[in-house]
């Protein structure tokens, strides 16, 4: 879902005019070229979040950027979620029939879609088979992987590799995800948009009214994890952390998230979370509809500490979102998260429930230390993970495909 974005020139107040001038210079070199992004969901999750900002901003720079979403039924998305989980190292059987169905739905999409990009920019495994059209279309193809590839199951990895290596290049979010491939690989980390509804400054009245709307007490500490309801985000682990900390410190837990149309597992996870939360009135499990950006922004800004206790994580936009708001973030040292957090400098990295409990107690008890982590975290995000840097990297990538 394309969102309203700011004028690209407005970002100069954050990143400086020279950065914006360079983006226009690079965009000009791609004038007339179509960049067609294809992924598997228009809302929910980090990929849709980024595309909803990136595509309109690229247009402002003169690039003919487009965004299309493949279609699939529940059977297809159940299979793609299995592939997703297996790539994240989860032991899960995937049958030959399922892989054949996965290919078939991709081929149906290829027949129905207008594959028109000068650069075909295919995001994640779900639409990866579209590369079969490479010869018919004859343009440049890049595969953009947002998945944590540190410990993929080899069977599914080998299946995907047979497709990945037909692309002109593959793009990964973190050095740890690079694979032995016969094609060039680029490292481009994701980003957040500082001027979006999700990240812009908010008046205190807006923050207060969101807390009132959800019945959250303003006077006691708020610990928050924003995430799709997905086992890989470990929401049950978060509840355990909260319960152990709560024995010592009176705080509240907010677990807020929605679903994604390509993630059929969400309802089951939400049910498990609600059961684990039981009847504790200080655990707020909030099922958010899509595009509740102001609400998410307000919840993050109202938080004393933000958690991201993922078991696997391609990047973790929610970490960047929290740090950008100068919040202390405690997050698992997995996938792309350590790119964002230098331990005890710009946040806290943990490896276990015990560790998370320990540091959550410390940050709630030492607000000055917590504040320092948040300030350093904001600076780190400003220097490395804002959308202007991301656009520059993509423009250079697209240009490199034509030279």
| 317 binding ligand UDP? (CB under 6 A) | yes
| Helix H or strand E segment including 256 | strand 252-257
Please answer whether residues 33 and 63 qualify as being in contact, where contact means their C-beta atoms are separated by less than 8 angstroms: yes
Least separation in angstroms between residue 270's CB and ligand UDP is: 11
Which residues lie below 8 Å from residue 378, measured CB to CB, with a gap of 6+?
Answer: 323, 324, 325, 326
Region from 65-73, 82-90, 226-234, 370-378 binding ligand UDP, contact rule CB under 6 A: 226-234
Least separation in angstroms between residue 302's CB and ligand UDP is: 15
Quick count: other Cβ atoms within 10 Å of Cβ 376?
Answer: 19
**Cα-based angle 9, 51, 6 (whole degrees, multiple of 5):** 25
| 72 binding ligand UDP? (CB under 6 A) | no
- Of 146, 150, 190, 185, residue with least CA distance to 165: 185
Q: Number of residues in contact with ligand UDP, rule: CB under 6 A?
A: 16
Q: What whole-number distance in Å separates Cα of residue 366 and Cα of residue 399?
A: 48
| 189 binding ligand UDP? (CB under 6 A) | no
Least separation in angstroms between residue 208's CB and ligand UDP is: 20
Region from 112-120, 200-208, 312-320, 365-373 binding ligand UDP, contact rule CB under 6 A: 312-320
Please answer whether residues 388 and 20 qualify as being in contact, where contact means their C-beta atoms are separated by less than 8 angstroms: yes
| 360 binding ligand UDP? (CB under 6 A) | no
Per-residue contact flags (x/-) with ligand UDP for residues 193 to 222, judged by CB under 6 A? -----x------------------------
Show the tokens assigned to 263: 């993630």
Q: Which of 33, 49, 127, 285 binds ligand UDP (CB under 6 A)?
A: 49
Per-residue contact flags (x/-) with ligand UDP for residues 245 to 284, judged by CB under 6 A? ------------xx--------------------------
Q: Which of 86, 170, 277, 288 binds ligand UDP (CB under 6 A)?
A: 288
Please answer whether residues 297 and 200 qualify as being in contact, where contact means their C-beta atoms are separated by less than 8 angstroms: yes
Least separation in angstroms between residue 184's CB and ligand UDP is: 25
Q: Which of 316, 347, 374, 377 binds ligand UDP (CB under 6 A)?
A: 316
Choose between 206 and 362: whose C-beta lies nearer to ligand UDP.
206
Sheet holding 222-226: strands in order across? 283-287, 252-257, 222-226, 305-308, 329-332, 348-350
| 328 binding ligand UDP? (CB under 6 A) | no
* DSSP summary character for residue 176: G
Dihedral angle, C-alpha 172, 175, 180, 183, nearest 10 °:
40
Q: What whole-number distance in Å separates Cα of residue 85 and Cα of residue 89?
A: 7
**Which residue sits closest to ligand UDP, CB atoms considered?**
46
| 315 binding ligand UDP? (CB under 6 A) | yes
| Long-range CB contacts for residues 182-186, cutoff 8 Å, separation at least 24 | 186/393, 186/397
Positions that interact with ligand UDP (CB under 6 A): 45-46, 49, 198, 226-228, 257-258, 288, 296, 315-318, 321
């Amino acid at each position: 879902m394309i969102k309203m974005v700011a004028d690209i020139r407005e970002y100069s107040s954050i990143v400086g005019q020279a950065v914006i001038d360079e983006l226009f210079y690079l965009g000009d070199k791609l004038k007339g070229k179509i960049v067609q992004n294809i992924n598997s969901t228009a809302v929910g999750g980090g990929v849709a979040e980024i595309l909803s900002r990136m595509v309109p901003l690229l247009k402002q720079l003169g690039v003919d950027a487009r965004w299309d979403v493949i279609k699939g039924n529940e059977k297809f998305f159940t299979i793609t979620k299995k592939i997703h989980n297996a790539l994240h190292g989860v032991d899960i059987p995937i049958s030959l029939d399922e892989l054949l169905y996965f290919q078939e739905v991709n081929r149906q999409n290829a027949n129905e879609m207008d594959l028109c990009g000068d650069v075909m920019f295919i995001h994640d495994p779900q639409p990866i088979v579209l590369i079969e059209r490479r010869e018919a279309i004859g343009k440049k193809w890049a595969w953009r992987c947002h998945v944590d590839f540190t410990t993929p199951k080899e069977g599914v990895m080998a299946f995907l590799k047979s497709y990945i290596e037909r692309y002109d290049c593959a793009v990964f979010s973190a050095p740890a995800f690079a694979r032995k491939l016969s094609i060039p690989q680029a490292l481009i980390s994701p980003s957040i948009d500082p001027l979006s509804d999700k990240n812009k400054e908010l008046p205190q009245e807006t923050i207060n009214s969101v807390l009132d709307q959800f019945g959250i007490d303003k006077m006691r500490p708020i610990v928050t994890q924003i995430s799709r309801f997905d086992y890989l985000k470990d929401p049950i682990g978060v509840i355990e952390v909260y319960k152990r900390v709560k024995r010592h410190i009176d705080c509240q837990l907010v677990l807020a998230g929605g679903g994604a149309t390509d993630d059929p597992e969400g309802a089951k996870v939400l049910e498990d979370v609600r059961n684990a939360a039981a009847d504790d009135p200080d655990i707020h499990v909030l099922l958010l509809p899509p595009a509740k950006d102001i609400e998410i922004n307000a919840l993050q800004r109202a938080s004393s500490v933000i958690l991201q206790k993922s078991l696997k994580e391609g990047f973790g936009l929610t970490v960047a979102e929290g740090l950008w708001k100068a919040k202390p973030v405690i997050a698992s040292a997995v996938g792309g998260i350590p790119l964002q957090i230098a331990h005890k400098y710009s946040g806290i990295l943990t490896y276990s429930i015990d560790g998370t409990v320990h540091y959550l107690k410390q940050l709630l008890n030492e607000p000055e230390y917590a504040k320092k982590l948040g300030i350093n975290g904001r600076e780190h995000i400003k220097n490395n993970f804002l959308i202007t840097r991301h656009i520059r990297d993509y423009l250079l990538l697209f240009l490199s495909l034509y030279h």
